[in-house]
Amino acid sequence: MARVELELTALPAHVRTARLVVVAAARRAGLADELVDELRLAVGEASSRAVGLHRAHAPHTPVLLTVTDDPRLLTVTVTDHGPAADPQVQDLAEDLWDRADDGTDDHVDPDVALAVLTGLVDDVSVEAGEQGTTVTLRWPLPARGGPIGLPSTAAAT
């Protein structure tokens, strides 16, 4: 198992930092190429959401990201200290339309970001508590090849 932890000051520029680090860790863990774009977008949405919430509610507290790879599962968590999540957006297009306004449309609406994540990634869980919200994203990892001659299932045990 390998683990990467990242604490981000709530700056928009560091949303890109988060994408770069998580994509690098995921590639190293062996995430399939066809899932990397999905991961990049999902981590971008989750991090933008958290950074936006921190800028409004906890500007001096860092956003926490972790990337963990068990042999067969890549897990990314993004933990914020904003108001509890409410992933109940019914109509995304309508919500985006309603919230797009002069001067305010450069912020991620936290609930829209969650709804995009849910539509994008098969395995998403959202845990909202008093301190904030943890978004957990999971992707399968391919079996790693074991020593030459051994089937990969043997290497995983």
Partner 1 sequence: MDLSLSTRTESGAAGDRTVVVVGGEIDVYTAPKLREQLIDLVSSGQYHLVVDMEGVEFLDSTGLGVLVGGLKRVRAHEGSLRLVCTQERILKIFRITGLTKVFPIHGTVEEAVAATD
* Contacts with partner 1, residue ranges (CB under 8 A): 12-13, 15-16, 19, 37, 40-41, 44-45, 48, 51-52, 91-93, 96-97, 99-102, 105-109, 112-113, 116, 119-120
| Neighbouring residues of 9: CB distance < 8 A, sequence distance ≥ 6 | 62
**Whole-number minimum distance, CB 93 to partner 1, in Å?**
4
User: For partner 1, which is the closer residue by CB, 64 or 112?
Assistant: 112
**Whole-number minimum distance, CB 116 to partner 1, in Å?**
5
Cα gap 65→46, rounded to integer Å = 10
The DSSP-derived string for 91-144 is -HHHHHHHH--TTTTTS--HHHHHHHHHHH-SEEEEEE-SS-EEEEEEEE-PPP
Chain centre distance of CA 82: 16
Task: Quickly tell me which residue has 């995921």 as its tokens.
Answer: 26
**Whole-number minimum distance, CB 68 to partner 1, in Å?**
23
The residues with which 127 forms a beta bridge, in sequence order, are: 134
User: For partner 1, which is the closer residue by CB, 101 or 130?
Assistant: 101
User: For partner 1, which is the closer residue by CB, 3 or 16?
Assistant: 16
User: For partner 1, which is the closer residue by CB, 70 or 94?
Assistant: 94
**Whole-number minimum distance, CB 8 to partner 1, in Å?**
12
Cα gap 64→82, rounded to integer Å = 12
**Whole-number minimum distance, CB 83 to partner 1, in Å?**
18
Burial class (CB in 10 A: 0-12, 13-18, 19+), 33: exposed
User: For partner 1, which is the closer residue by CB, 69 or 115?
Assistant: 115
